Amino acid sequence: MPHTRNRLGVITSGSLVEGLTARLEARESVEDMRVGKFVVIQGEKHEFFSMITDVVLEATNQKILTDPPNGDAFIHAVLAGTSTYGTLALMPRLMLPSDQEETLLPVKTIPRHFSPVFEAREEDFTRVFGREGGSLFEIGRPLDMDVPVCLNLARLVERSNGIFGKSGTGKSFLTRLLLCGAIHADIASNLIFDMHSEYGWETRSEGGGFVKGLRQLFGSDVLVYTIDPQAGRRTQVDGEIVIGLDQIEVEDITLLGEELNLSSTATESAYLLVDRFKKGWLRALLEMDSDAVATFAESSGAHAGAISALKRKLSQVRRLSFVRDEADFSSIDRLIEALAAGRHVVLDFGANGGSLAYMLVANLVTRRIHRRWIERTERYLQSKNEADRPRPLMITIEEAHKFLNPQTARQTIFGTIARELRKYSVTLLVVDQRPSSIDPEVMSQLGTRITALLNDDKDIDAVFTGVSGGAGLKAVLASLDTKQQALVLGHAVPMPVVVRTRPYDDALYAAVQRRTPRRAAPVAPTPAPALSAQEEIDELFPD
């Protein structure tokens, strides 16, 4: 064993399922042993890359603990390491055969008694997590070492993923960091539903300064669309999304059930309206007077009170500034074409950043995207032509529990995407502060989870849904600082690891901008003219 590794202790007990216990060397202080620290156990035939999941104080004689000595430093020094000592709870995560250099294996056995435990070196981290470049992107650095920890972005986009953390822990910056890596590596198109205008253009950091948005970093590779009619007056946008009442389907209304306080009969009533009025069902409903409601109820078998209540609650949809009685899909189709061509789109909600607008637009746009990707996939399977293969797409949604809670996950397009994984080359990046509110089936399908501090036990349990060995990681997650620390685990990393997240600063800007821009045809940005209200209407609805 190289002498450059610092020996921390030896293995004294443990099991494959419950983890291992190591006795700490007398010269080592328990205060230097942090939960989440990375160590290497030198076994007889393998090296075991392991994480500290707990630190425990022990004593050889319980009488010492029942009658502890006074604060004399000399007595403490005499007892330390002999009568009193510390132990480490370790969870092996990977093992490397001693006669091989690169083959990392899942842990199927454990080292023997008294195997030495060493502090991990920089070379160990590099061997496990690789060096940045290609599809490997630095997400942060270990808490006690200055060496990059890299995500495999190619593996990341193979499945849906999650970023979690309580409010104020930096989820948006983690998301922006991950999106920078994905766009820089050019391994998938990205659609970001930007509820709070945090991703497209510059925004304020919690430190009071300003940080660059994705459009500023990647230029015309990133397009900014909006549903806010006033956004084009304030900043440069590439298109404005307008939704027609004739484009809204019953699935969209079902998703809004909690937001609009719809009754259990709302969906049934909506389908009766669809049977009668087809695509124009919502407009027909909103234009009904009391007599028309009664007539429809009598002829269709619906309950007049339920129809009236549905009309009253759905009238909130019509009052949204981006909703028209009729609209085509041209702006959404341009957005989809940009994604299919390898561009990236930020859909900025601007002043319409409320939950109602966010859920309605995100569901409607994603449903149309999903249909397009299914068509492309089926065409590719028939033709076997690589030109027909759909480009991988990652869709980022905030407040994900609104789309993926147990009541609606099975009925929304987001639930379908999360369950189908990579079948149609569309995956999700879900961002939320309450993972316990997300359907457990969806949580179990998330390939990679990047989690900042969570305090609620239900949320912590939810993060580890479907994760083997999750019990030992709960203490690790609970010990994180409130800022710039995260636990990374899952498909895109070889083993769970706690990191100081990479700063979103000038060094990152320089790193991600060192590449050749895509040669996609530019999309002309929408200018910001000072149009009158009538001119805007004439422009949107030409004769």
Rounded Cα distance, 239 and 190, in Å: 16
pLDDT at 83: 79
pLDDT at 206: 66
Residue 114, both tokens = 């008294």
pLDDT at 533: 41
Is the pLDDT confidence value at 516 over 60?
A: no
Is the pLDDT confidence value at 23 over 50?
A: yes
What is the rounded average pLDDT for all residues in the chain?
84
pLDDT at 137: 94
pLDDT at 407: 80
pLDDT at 99: 64
Rounded Cα distance, 212 and 508, in Å: 11
pLDDT at 72: 65
Q: Which H or E element spans position 444?
A: helix 440-445
pLDDT in tens, 524-536: 444 443 444 444 4
Q: Going by DSSP bridges, is the β-strand pair 485-490/203-204 parallel, antiparallel, or unpaired? A: unpaired
Vertex 188, ends 186 and 193: CA angle to 5°? 115
Is the pLDDT confidence value at 274 over 60?
A: yes
Neighbours of 187 (CB within 10 A): 22
Is the pLDDT confidence value at 342 over 70?
A: yes
The mean per-residue pLDDT over the stretch 354-370 comes to: 88
Q: What percent of the chain has pLDDT over 90?
A: 35
Q: What is the 3-state secondary structure (H, E, C) of 179-198?
A: HHHHHHHCCCEEEEEECCCC
pLDDT at 527: 40
Q: Minimal CA–CA distance to 352: which of 324, 319, 320?
A: 320
pLDDT in tens, 450-509: 999 998 889 999 998 877 767 778 888 888 888 889 999 989 999 888 899 999 888 888
pLDDT at 78: 65
pLDDT at 515: 56
pLDDT at 208: 66
Largest CA distance in the chain: 94
The mean per-residue pLDDT over the stretch 433-458 comes to: 91
- Three-state DSSP state, 257: helix
pLDDT at 410: 76
Rounded Cα distance, 221 and 189, in Å: 10
pLDDT confidence tier of residue 540, bands split at 50, 70 and 90: very low
pLDDT at 231: 61
The mean per-residue pLDDT over the stretch 103-116 comes to: 90
Q: Going by DSSP bridges, is the β-strand pair 203-204/210-211 parallel, antiparallel, or unpaired? A: antiparallel
- What predicted TM-score, i.e. pTM, was given to this entire model? 0.83
pLDDT at 233: 55
**Residue 172 near residue 133 (C-beta atoms within 8 A):** no
Q: What percent of the chain has pLDDT over 70?
A: 89
Is the pLDDT confidence value at 433 over 80?
A: yes
The mean per-residue pLDDT over the stretch 38-62 comes to: 89
pLDDT confidence tier of residue 71, bands split at 50, 70 and 90: low
Lowest mean pLDDT among 39-43, 60-64, 225-229, 517-521: 517-521
pLDDT at 512: 86
pLDDT at 524: 42
pLDDT confidence tier of residue 84, bands split at 50, 70 and 90: confident
Rounded Cα distance, 180 and 170, in Å: 15
pLDDT at 455: 86
pLDDT in tens, 152-194: 999 999 999 999 998 888 888 899 999 999 999 999 999 999 9
Q: What is the 3-state secondary structure (H, E, C) of 350-389?
A: HHHCCHHHHHHHHHHHHHHHHHHHHHHHHHHHHHCCHHHC
pLDDT at 351: 75
Is the pLDDT confidence value at 449 over 90?
A: yes
Rounded Cα distance, 298 and 123, in Å: 77
Lowest mean pLDDT among 54-58, 339-343, 396-400, 530-534: 530-534
Q: Please give the C-alpha separations between residue 202 and each of 59, 131, 173, 235, 507, in angstroms, as whole numbers.
A: 56, 29, 12, 11, 16
Provide CB contacts within 8 A for 47, sequence distance 6+: 40, 41, 95, 96, 98
Provide CB contacts within 8 A for 63, sequence distance 6+: none
Q: Minimal CA–CA distance to 302: which of 330, 266, 327, 334?
A: 266
**Residue 451 near residue 164 (C-beta atoms within 8 A):** yes
pLDDT at 160: 92
Rg (CA), the chain: 28
Is the pLDDT confidence value at 147 over 80?
A: yes
Handedness of CA 348, 191, 322, 262 (dihedral sign): negative
**Residue 286 near residue 280 (C-beta atoms within 8 A):** no
The letter for the amino acid at 447 is G
The mean per-residue pLDDT over the stretch 286-301 comes to: 90
pLDDT at 109: 92
Q: Please give the C-alpha separations between residue 181 and each of 151, 218, 340, 429, 511, in angstroms, as whole numbers.
A: 9, 11, 19, 13, 10
Neighbours of 468 (CB within 10 A): 8
Handedness of CA 194, 199, 203, 205 (dihedral sign): positive
pLDDT confidence tier of residue 514, bands split at 50, 70 and 90: low
**Residue 212 near residue 180 (C-beta atoms within 8 A):** no
pLDDT in tens, 406-419: 887 777 788 888 88
